[in-house]
Structure 1
């Protein structure tokens, strides 16, 4: 063996010195904390085990956990595709080719959209019901009359932008309310207006209104898009007080007066020709009365995710609380409340255990006998009931309205000393030293096409095992299980004085202060949310009964019967964005529920491909739900988008690229990818003007209407074909099909650079430089795709950057998150960090409600809440630190600190993953790389790049390699 020279020893000493310098302090505990309880849902703290989710409010005298179960949805198993739709496909394509977009959209709306539930015979049922409520057959006296006595009616302040469900004060019976509701209010006519016609302005109303003045009908309209501005002739007005009565008809979704997006005031009366600002406001609050809350079941394209119930804990003898603290410990997945009252220190711990499939609440006090409270269960569902099971347990049963699913939840309390009784369906605890509450829940859902399950089994089996367990055992098992996921990655982006502030205060100050550790906390919060809302089903005791669902638009948390966008799975970006952090941030196992859902979507997507396109393979449009609908929904100008299946297939390939799991590729990924590609082999057609293969009909998601050949489609299809070719070569199969894909790949319409140097969003150069639309779909090839990269297509990436500059920095929450990833791929860390500032912008500020940003609990504000921004933001921060989408020969190039912002000068990340089966620990100081450890899980060649430095070396599976900041092996 050759003896080390003096130079070798000197280099080794220097390297060891660098390693020693890289031993950074342990980062601060990842904890969200507050000085006050939650006042509203977006201030509550989320807990979840992948199936059960809870929002903890942390109240002192009254505490509240709003909870969900992943499989409680509206609807039922059914066929979504419209048989025979394919016969209209050639005509739609021809109309688009002729530039007749409006005609194409109308034909598609009439003949090509998917089937809705309950669509057969609905029109006749609705007309009969409407005629009945219009006759006021169940009304003793006419509510339109000025003399009508409405003293017994309840009151509501309007407008209610989110529907009467969320109107203040919250009232029982309004959640999920559909039907006919009467409103009454007044206005005083100024003397100066005598003899003048006036305009009554009430903004938008969902869905239909019949508006009466002094007993006479003065206006009626239908549709959410129409502003209600009714001209009232002077002859119908009275001197002094005038009485308005409005019958509002709402057939589904949020109802009532929802206002209008304008700077002008609404709910005013003003002289014709005048301005609303000069008008007389309608008297507030309005009186209201529910006439009929049982209209015919409205047709729906897809189902809605539903809240399950609410656990209420009302405490006794607590008085004035002092030293209150409300927190969520991300390292242990435990929420905690502590405070003092009357010299007693009270502590509550909340967790959602995956091993024991229950939500647990543990109550302790610093003195014996101090735990006294009542516990109840309630639900927003109209068909819900509570019953006693035994002296320690009550049950909540729910039935989803007009749906196939029902559920049961059990609440069980265990005590140390003290007493517990059941009275009036409520658990009453007195004088206990400690108390533990266990909450379980389940539904009859078994699979997207099977609802034969037993809710009682789902709720009772976990509780049977919990009855004999101490809380410390449950807690320890929960932490151990959770940390197998969470502890795979640590991150430190540097310290700041703001670390000692409550989280909501840090959020308020982030834009104007230096707080890099809040970005680290946000990344770990994103990982926490993914672990909590998307778990593989690995608990053997309950494996036969617990289906794993992917994270939806709100993860696993929702408190509304009519949630925003149904809290579904929007597949033109939002579902996919939920899983951007999964592979890179060392949570590959959390991808599993999405893969299971893809396998089910393949089954239903085959039917849609055949019925709508007469094509092989499978297709997924821009939304799906629990029942795995794949057909086009809503409106043809955005609902006919064909690339959802190809995009989710990208996740299958990404999982293989990160894991190098050949068995996964062969058995699960490639079969789905191949069928997705088969669809496009049949679907793509030659453009008569250019000769390119194009995607038609489709759209650039939610922007520009129904078109032929949107850029995003072609990027995604190329990605799918390229990945299928690579997979078939790895597996040594389907050579003929592979050749077909290779040939067609080169014929697909290419990315084009427009007249302003921008990347074109469509075939034609029609991009508007003033367009600030939230979707930036034509940049898919930059991120998450690899169609456009610095190494292979530098001109295109510059054009994409120009497009993003034109689109602007503003956006909704998830759009801001996507732009962080774009700017990271553009290698502009400071711009990416500026986007992070916008994502952290408080949705609630001292000045009022803002646009997209973050709520006090760090939930992403679209607004309203959508969880994809949390996951996209976490991904964007990671993209600043590592990227592995570029390729050098057969190996992926791993770019270290490719977009490090000046705001993160010193830090480290341990456990970040790269394609090729690599796990890295990266360390940097004063903006420069000082060292990296690379663990090879697959034994592939490794190519590292840092700035203009590059290092390529072979690896052995399971071995770790250490390099310094010059990319020299140590």
Structure 2
């Protein structure tokens, strides 16, 4: 070929580069597999598009698909200030300075506030099949989540007919799709309807739609009866649209709220949902959004798309994120055995693999767990959605407990561990948007509660960007380092993407406000060091010198480590942005050398509190 001749070569796509496993890929698919329907919520399989989520149980005679939408929360925008806080703060600091740590802990209860609002569930899609499904062949049942295509599939056989259901949640088309089919023509018959634990009503719309309309409580614990017919909580709507095969099948309307399919070859369910939430600073009663109209418009936008089209859009969008990273551990003769079929010819279920891991470590299971974490993040956090809570977007309760993810729990949620090392930087955008909202309320909290400048956020927040200390035990609720800890993600995102505009326009203004608060929050203590007082180490306490148990002291190592890191980030960001001469940067540099040092015990361990004996959680 002559030098002047050129051949245009297309840029490799993600699919070209994707190589999740070795040559024996068929024996180690990225699938979560069960051989029976879910018995508990934690056994159901999650799908999500960042905003809409569903837990699919995989029942045979009846199916339950539990739905979530990320803006459904209790409450309204709140006031996160406490004018009495400065007086309590002064008292606490005096008690800490005098070594009365137990008394300081008791007094610190005056600084905790009202409980954060809680995440709600949208409702359920309920499917009821013919009685013949009660006698399905249990040996043929399989329920699986394929992480590579973000699809849940259920298969089983009834009287020689194989039935299958496919579920996926599309981000580009903002719809959750379910396809039900059978290998025998005219074998698909069922009743479908919507339900919810929230106050709601259902109605059919035309011959193939069910509309559910409802509202979230205005208060976290709602009254038994509303005073009027116009509740002021977030309003929502879900619309279920049904399509069946041409030629075979008929649809009946039951009770003006249910759809009955009879004798179809296949059926496809489309679920869309919207709410009246219009940002953390807008009261639901002031929102101009019409959830039902918005939902119907989404359905209208996809009305000309086939199931194949929708699935192709979903797959292209999802795999563009998921297939950026593959993880491969070296294969051994022992680990291959774990994925061989059982004596009955079945591939081992995920539960069986977990159980056998105790005796024979299966590196492929570790790969599956790693990729499952990435799957959950992609499915619960996308540009334009709300920040994921402790369980992503999946929740089944109206008043969930702490361990059921009712809140945006900052000191855990911020970890977002799959994001940066796994090249899912887009999935962090909701966190950064949320930080901007937190900084608005956090300025008011800092000014009124602590008489400081800048902005502050505590341990727990909600969709309304709550910035003050939550109601609860002091050992976790009183922790004004939440915003500072989250700010570290801003710098990590920049160092990963090298997006200078992000650093200049989004990250540095937030870092600046956080740094100003920390400088004001620090006070000069014994020995001339800059210290934090009061100071906690969330969910830990200690035995004070007088033998009493306490959780409030000064300059916990956790506090100081976070402050040191934030200050270091501010200095580094200033160098990039040529802001070394800014007053803030000069103040930070001056303060760095005066921060309370990390203390090391005689046994070489780091001491969380100076002069105290650690007790633990």
TM-score (norm 2): 0.87
Report if the CA contact (8 A) 2:445-2:455 is conserved.
yes
Partner of 1:352: 169
Report if the CA contact (8 A) 2:161-2:184 is conserved.
yes
Report if the CA contact (8 A) 1:496-1:516 is conserved.
no
Hey, what's the Cα distance between the residues in 2 that align with 1:640 and 1:476? 48
Task: Please list the CA deviations of residues 811-843 of structure 1 after superposition, one character each: whole Å capped at 9, or x if unmatched.
Answer: xxxxxxxxxxxxxxxxxxxxxxxxxxxxxxxxx
Partner of 1:332: 149
Partner of 1:749: 596
Distance change in 2, residues 1:449/1:23 (3 Å): closer
Deviation of 1:469 (Å): 2.2
What is the total number of aligned residue pairs between the two structures? Answer: 549
Partner of 1:439: 271
Distance change in 2, residues 1:23/1:31 (3 Å): closer
Deviation of 1:763 (Å): 2.3
Hey, what's the Cα distance between the residues in 2 that align with 1:624 and 1:608? 13
Task: Please list the CA deviations of residues 272-301 of structure 1 after superposition, one character each: whole Å capped at 9, or x if unmatched.
Answer: xxxxxxxxxxxxxxxxxxxxxxxxxxxxx2
SS of equivalent residue, structure 1 residue 698: coil
Hey, what's the Cα distance between the residues in 1 that align with 2:21 and 2:434? 42
Partner of 2:305: 469
Hey, what's the Cα distance between the residues in 2 that align with 1:681 and 1:23? 50
| 2:236 is aligned with 1:421 | no
Q: Choose which of 386, 396, 405 in structure 1 pairs with 2:202.
A: 386
Hey, what's the Cα distance between the residues in 2 that align with 1:685 and 1:337? 61
Tell me how large the CA RMSD over aligned residues is: 1.6
| 2:237 is aligned with 1:408 | yes
SS of equivalent residue, structure 2 residue 528: coil
Hey, what's the Cα distance between the residues in 2 that align with 1:586 and 1:752? 36
Q: Choose which of 121, 133, 136 in structure 2 pairs with 1:321.
A: 136
SS of equivalent residue, structure 1 residue 527: helix
Partner of 1:40: 40
Report if the CA contact (8 A) 1:753-1:759 is conserved.
yes
Deviation of 1:407 (Å): 0.9
Deviation of 1:350 (Å): 0.4
Hey, what's the Cα distance between the residues in 1 that align with 2:559 and 2:293? 45
Name which one, 1 or 2, has greater alpha-carbon Rg: 1
Report if the CA contact (8 A) 1:410-1:440 is conserved.
yes
Partner of 2:7: none
Report if the CA contact (8 A) 2:116-2:466 is conserved.
yes
TM-score (norm 1): 0.55
Hey, what's the Cα distance between the residues in 1 that align with 2:213 and 2:112? 36
Hey, what's the Cα distance between the residues in 1 that align with 2:535 and 2:361? 45
Hey, what's the Cα distance between the residues in 1 that align with 2:24 and 2:564? 44
SS of equivalent residue, structure 2 residue 600: coil
SS of equivalent residue, structure 1 residue 496: helix
| 2:409 is aligned with 1:570 | yes
Q: Choose which of 576, 588, 592 in structure 1 pairs with 2:429.
A: 592
Q: Choose which of 549, 557, 573 in structure 2 pairs with 1:711.
A: 557
Partner of 1:528: 375
Partner of 1:720: 566
- Within 5 Å, give how 1:798-877 maps onto structure 2: none
SS of equivalent residue, structure 1 residue 740: helix
Q: Choose which of 12, 23, 26 in structure 2 pairs with 1:25.
A: 23
Distance change in 2, residues 1:521/1:674 (3 Å): same
- Within 5 Å, give how 1:404-803 maps onto structure 2: 404-416=233-245, 417-424=248-255, 425-450=257-282, 451=284, 452=287, 453-493=289-329, 494=331, 495-499=335-339, 500-537=347-384, 548-565=385-402, 567-571=406-410, 573-577=411-415, 579-634=416-471, 635-688=473-526, 690-704=527-541, 705-733=551-579, 735=581, 736-768=583-615, 771=616, 773=617
Partner of 1:399: 215
Partner of 1:305: 119
Report if the CA contact (8 A) 2:21-2:327 is conserved.
no
Q: Choose which of 160, 182, 185 in structure 2 pairs with 1:368.
A: 185
Report if the CA contact (8 A) 1:618-1:679 is conserved.
yes
Moved over 6 A (4+): none
Partner of 1:142: none
Partner of 1:113: 112
Deviation of 1:734 (Å): 5.1
Task: Please list the CA deviations of residues 241-271 of structure 1 after superposition, one character each: whole Å capped at 9, or x if unmatched.
Answer: xxxxxxxxxxxxxxxxxxxxxxxxxxxxxxx
SS of equivalent residue, structure 1 residue 461: helix
Deviation of 1:698 (Å): 2.2
